[in-house]
Structure 1
Amino acid sequence: MSNSSVLIAGAGPAGLVLALILLKNGVSVRIIDKEMNHRIGSRGSGIQPRTLELYHILGILPNILEAGEGVGLLAKYVRGETKPMGTFPLSEHIEPTPDTPHPNGHIVTQDAHEEVLRAYLRDLGCAVELGSQLLSFEQFPDSVVARIVKTDTDGNQVEEDTRFDWLVGTDGARSIVRKQLDLSFLGETQSEHVALGDIVVEGVDPKLWHMWNEPPKLLVLRPSGSNSKVFMLVFIDRSKAWADKTLTREELIEEFYAMTDRRDVTFGPATWLSNYRPNMRMVDQMRVGRVFIAGDAAHCHSPAGGQGLNSSVQDVINLGWKLALVQKGLAPETLLDTYSEERLRVIAQMLQLTTDLHEKTFRGDGKNHDVWFRGGDVQMLGVNYCGSSIVQEDGAVRGAGATAYSKSSAGRVQAAYRAPDAPGLVRVRAGSDDTPTRLFDVFSVDVHTVLVFGGNEITHVEVLGRLPKETVRAVLLLPQGQTTTDGASSALVLEDRAGHAYAGYGMRVDELSVVIVRPDGVIGAVSPTAEGVERYFQKILI
């Protein structure tokens, strides 16, 4: 039925982003989801600054930003009072800088988020196949045969066995793919009962988050948008009162009135409800042969800190470019082993971070408002791949001992960390206009970007001559005020007219420095020589 190279099982944000990356790399995909209709509801709605940067590189950021808004204030109430005892920021507002243009998180309900991603997929000729469930699969040396059952709107079912080159399970915490691979999913289940769902609420300000805390119970109304009456109602009970029972809409509303004594607040329909006990779990590998897992299929966590959805997206951005290179015959299959190598270290620290935040946020007495404040590491701008076997760290302090959530302190850009942005770049070429561009617009998910700073004509020619042609975009960055080329015609030549590239990357005008930016926006190498550049690509390509 399908000649697609990659089957993606699960059409949440992780699966949709992976499909988009593979298609942009010229790799055919089939993305399926067992649901008959696209999921509704806000669910995971916080998009962190690092994910916004990756969406910028992916070319989808404007529509993501348009679909949501910034993080608001938290209003805390005393029982029976209609006015809050105070409002508190959930995060510090940070002014953009040249190297970090998206420093603040953004709230986009997950259904709106997914619709934006699906629209971009439709533009590339791909649609999510609803009502299609992966039942099982069998691996062979050169392929995976997937058994899929397709259910139509009348309930009729048809099974098929289809061969793919690769299978990726982005099918959630109850992942069929993970279970069939028989992967460990170690961790713990928290004791408290959590009930949540989206519900229409009248009588509260949609621009604010609203919280009532009477230990052992906590209740939060999180807005879906300043022009919406839909809120996510989150109820947490740390007692044994509800144990493993399922709360209905009516029971949730009764709990609300009992905790708040706010009869001025009324409720409309609930679009979805969920009851669970928080799990903090992860696998110990994310690849078995030709099958991968990503997102919630590989790790589940407390929602505290808003890291889960973002980690899921960053999983597939790490996997996507590697899988594309291997599928196109440009990289050895061993490159795919670095997916687990790089991501498991990050996920382990993410789970520690979110578990610590869960303890502070949901198990305190509610008197310390600071536990709701989010900043620093949760922005994910310091997530790195220090110690990776494919990172080439010439001339830099080796970062193998750095934690996965930590920013470089080397005084200049360092391999394994995010590549900063730099605006104010102007093309240097006869007939080109002076419209400025920026590095985040130059980077791409389908090529490595090689930035050449400083040096002279001889060193430029040597570096460019050693670059692989099919997988690289070379960019020669001239210092501010230099507008003549030196014969490096194979490169995109940009004048750093605003000076942000040299300053932000910590580069000198009189010294050759080459920065290799991977398709996932991570610096793969910083080298002062052409030989160093060549050594990096020997780690990546055939």
Structure 2
Amino acid sequence: MGMTDVLIVGAGPTGLVLACDLARRGAAVRIVDRSPAPPRTSRAKGPNPRSLEILDDLGVAEEVLAAGSAPLPMLKYRGRLPVAEADPWADSAPSPDAPYDRGWLIAQWRLEGILRDRLAGYGVRVEPGREVVGLAQGRDGDHGDGHGDGGRVDVTFADGPAGRARYVVGCDGAHSSVRKLLGIGFEGTTAEDQVMVCGDVDLAEGALDRTHWHQWFDEDGAVMLCPIPGTRTGWWFQAGPERDGRGRPLTPTADGFRRLLARHTALPGEDLTRAELLSTYRVNVRMADRFRAGRVFLAGDAAHVHAIAGGLGMNTGIQDAFNLGWKLGLVLAGRADATLLDTYEEERLPVAARTLDLTSERLRATLEAIRRPGGGLDAAITTDTTGLGVGYRWSSLAATRAGTPTAAPHAGDGAPDTPVAGDRAPDAPCVEAATGARTRLHRIFAGPRTTVLGFGPGSAAVLREAAAVYGDAGVRTCRVYGTHEDRTGAEPGAVVDDAGHAAAAYGTEASGGTGPGAVVVVRPDHHVGVLASADDARSVREYLRRLHGVGRSTERSPGMVDAVR
């Protein structure tokens, strides 16, 4: 029985993103799913702006954008008549620090197919029909805490030979077998009275305008129809359920969908020509009490479920995976201590708890809005649902100076919007110093590496040390030149901040002058680890040491700047 580095259980978007991230790092990955074939379901309606950044990093964003469509304006009805139209994205636009200003509509099955193809490019394929029924951790000397030498997880499947992995990640949904096998609690509530029936349907061609998301909200029920991108006649169908004489929701059927269509819309029921993947959704608000047990982790719906308002379910799972992937990669490569894995739960559990609160609040706002004619699902959409504001200022990995966690922005340090340790690292357009080709900081960050940005001439010594000591350990350095700086002999990979957007985003506008400059360490998941003055080499050095070990050499080059002694 061979050993794999990571066994991922569940091949939805969460598991696939994690598998792609680990595979490109050279980790030996297996991904299994209990379903005998990939489910052809639309379910989640697409990635939000932060997830689009992650998909861009994985190299699939262009394909996702091509396969989907921009979010549609919402046409709202009452008594079968249109009463209002709303476009929650009408006033938004891409900005230098965030090129994705809105989410994207794409059927989940299509997104999963794109990720499976990407994963296959690394030589890894999903193993279908593999249900995990047993997990046994550790060995003598490991004590089950995941930190011992030679630790492992033995995995039993319902059918076929057993498996063995250094780590296991349960991405197997709300009814996670992995979570249950670990005995991890999943506390919360299920709102039995908040019920919706869902399915993928076909409507007669031309029955409805496909440039809108149609929403009928009446006092006795609701129907919502959103066109599925990439189809001519496919629609996402969501509705309040039919109920029996005692008020209990009925199981969804194609005929039931036709009756709901005829009752609430001006369309005849016969216009609904196909209905499949029918399901009943109840509002569940639950979270695992821990996201890790030894060498086994939980991510996505296996760790947390919440109201669908705001569309954060799939997106929170994708972002779980992107947080965990680089940490597992560094530990497996021997470049970081296994204690780095403790920061996954430290960072993502509070985010999940906040997401449960946010989505519950957005659901309440939506239910209140639809009581009035003209109210609709736009009430669920806020800047909080973009994912761009999610950060980890409380994390032990967030340090303004070595070992000093950041809980709040620096007082009077830089512009009010300057990121601090733990925040998402802003994007910014710039040009390659060597070629003049246009690029962006997030393209510089892309790939399985830590990035050290240097602003101002004073940052050169810190960048040289980082490259010399950690260049072979997955750290890249990038000098960011101001437009008026002398670029003679510019370092390979250097960029020019030709419009000043990078300096503005990181609060380093004065770095091209006589000051020491600034250095920013950006984690592989696009979050700021350290933002320090360029004469604070020690903070940078100690942060890189924590993520990447001692490095190739700890001897400093002649002339190395280190003002902290």
TM-score of the pair, normalised by structure 2: 0.87
1:217 alignment partner in structure 2: 221
The answer as to whether partners of 2:288 and 2:304 remain within 8 angstroms in 1 is yes
Q: Pairwise mapping of residues 121-520 of structure 1 onto structure 2 (< 5 A)?
A: 121-140=119-138, 141=142, 142-149=151-158, 158-190=159-191, 191-202=193-204, 203-225=207-229, 228-237=232-241, 243=248, 245-260=250-265, 262-263=267-268, 266-362=271-367, 364-367=370-373, 369=375, 372-373=378-379, 374-394=381-401, 399-400=406-407, 410-428=416-434, 433-456=435-458, 457-458=460-461, 460-461=463-464, 464=467, 467=470, 469-485=472-488, 492-507=493-508, 508-510=511-513, 511-520=516-525
| 358-367 vs 71-80, which moves further | 358-367
**C-alpha displacement at 1:36, in angstroms?**
1.3
Matched, 1:537 2:540: no
Distance 1:267 1:128 in 2: 34
Distance 2:432 2:465 in 1: 24
Query: Deviations for 1:419-471, whole angstroms, at most 9, x for unmatched residues?
Result: 1112222233xxxx322222111113411001011133555545655646412
Structure 2, unaligned stretches of length 5 or more? 143-150, 550-565
Matched, 1:526 2:531: yes
Provide closer, same or farther for how the CA distance between residues 248 and 500 of structure 1 changes in structure 2, counting only shifts above 3 A: same
Distance 1:2 1:161 in 2: 10
Query: What is the DSSP-based 3-state SS (H/G/I as helix, E as strand, rest coil) of the residue aligned with 1:107?
Result: coil
- 2:252 aligned partner, one-letter code: L
Distance 1:383 1:238 in 2: 38
The answer as to whether partners of 1:32 and 1:129 remain within 8 angstroms in 2 is yes
| 469-478 vs 252-261, which moves further | 252-261
Provide closer, same or farther for how the CA distance between residues 212 and 11 of structure 1 changes in structure 2, counting only shifts above 3 A: same
- 1:343 aligned partner, one-letter code: R
**C-alpha displacement at 1:485, in angstroms?**
4.8
- 1:443 aligned partner, one-letter code: F
Distance 2:499 2:88 in 1: 34
The answer as to whether partners of 1:301 and 1:351 remain within 8 angstroms in 2 is yes
Structure 1, unaligned stretches of length 5 or more? 150-157, 403-407
1:154 alignment partner in structure 2: none
**C-alpha displacement at 1:400, in angstroms?**
2.0
**C-alpha displacement at 1:386, in angstroms?**
1.0
Distance 1:458 1:204 in 2: 63
Query: What is the DSSP-based 3-state SS (H/G/I as helix, E as strand, rest coil) of the residue aligned with 1:5?
Result: strand
Query: Deviations for 1:163-182, whole angstroms, at most 9, x for unmatched residues?
Result: 11111110000000011111
Matched, 1:38 2:42: no
The answer as to whether partners of 2:485 and 2:512 remain within 8 angstroms in 1 is no
Distance 2:190 2:64 in 1: 33
Determine what percentage of the aligned residue pairs are the same residue.
34
Distance 2:372 2:2 in 1: 54
Distance 1:447 1:470 in 2: 9
The answer as to whether partners of 1:481 and 1:497 remain within 8 angstroms in 2 is no
Query: Deviations for 1:357-376, whole angstroms, at most 9, x for unmatched residues?
Result: 11221355143526624231
The answer as to whether partners of 2:48 and 2:104 remain within 8 angstroms in 1 is yes
**C-alpha displacement at 1:399, in angstroms?**
4.8
Distance 1:104 1:523 in 2: 23
1:26 alignment partner in structure 2: 26
TM-score of the pair, normalised by structure 1: 0.90
**C-alpha displacement at 1:265, in angstroms?**
6.4
Query: What is the DSSP-based 3-state SS (H/G/I as helix, E as strand, rest coil) of the residue aligned with 1:52?
Result: helix
Query: Deviations for 1:250-309, whole angstroms, at most 9, x for unmatched residues?
Result: 122212222335327611112311013210111121111000110000011111101111
**C-alpha displacement at 1:2, in angstroms?**
4.7
Provide closer, same or farther for how the CA distance between residues 527 and 401 of structure 1 changes in structure 2, counting only shifts above 3 A: closer
The answer as to whether partners of 1:196 and 1:274 remain within 8 angstroms in 2 is yes
- The number of residues matched between the two structures is 521
Provide closer, same or farther for how the CA distance between residues 319 and 361 of structure 1 changes in structure 2, counting only shifts above 3 A: same
Distance 1:400 1:224 in 2: 42
- 1:221 aligned partner, one-letter code: L
1:155 alignment partner in structure 2: none
RMSD: 2.5
Query: What is the DSSP-based 3-state SS (H/G/I as helix, E as strand, rest coil) of the residue aligned with 1:137?
Result: strand
**C-alpha displacement at 1:24, in angstroms?**
0.9
2:558 alignment partner in structure 1: none
The answer as to whether partners of 2:347 and 2:392 remain within 8 angstroms in 1 is yes
Provide closer, same or farther for how the CA distance between residues 516 and 242 of structure 1 changes in structure 2, counting only shifts above 3 A: farther
Provide closer, same or farther for how the CA distance between residues 463 and 119 of structure 1 changes in structure 2, counting only shifts above 3 A: closer
Query: What is the DSSP-based 3-state SS (H/G/I as helix, E as strand, rest coil) of the residue aligned with 1:212?
Result: strand
Distance 1:369 1:244 in 2: 24
Query: What is the DSSP-based 3-state SS (H/G/I as helix, E as strand, rest coil) of the residue aligned with 1:4?
Result: strand
Query: Deviations for 1:314-349, whole angstroms, at most 9, x for unmatched residues?
Result: 000000000111111111111111100100111111
1:152 alignment partner in structure 2: none
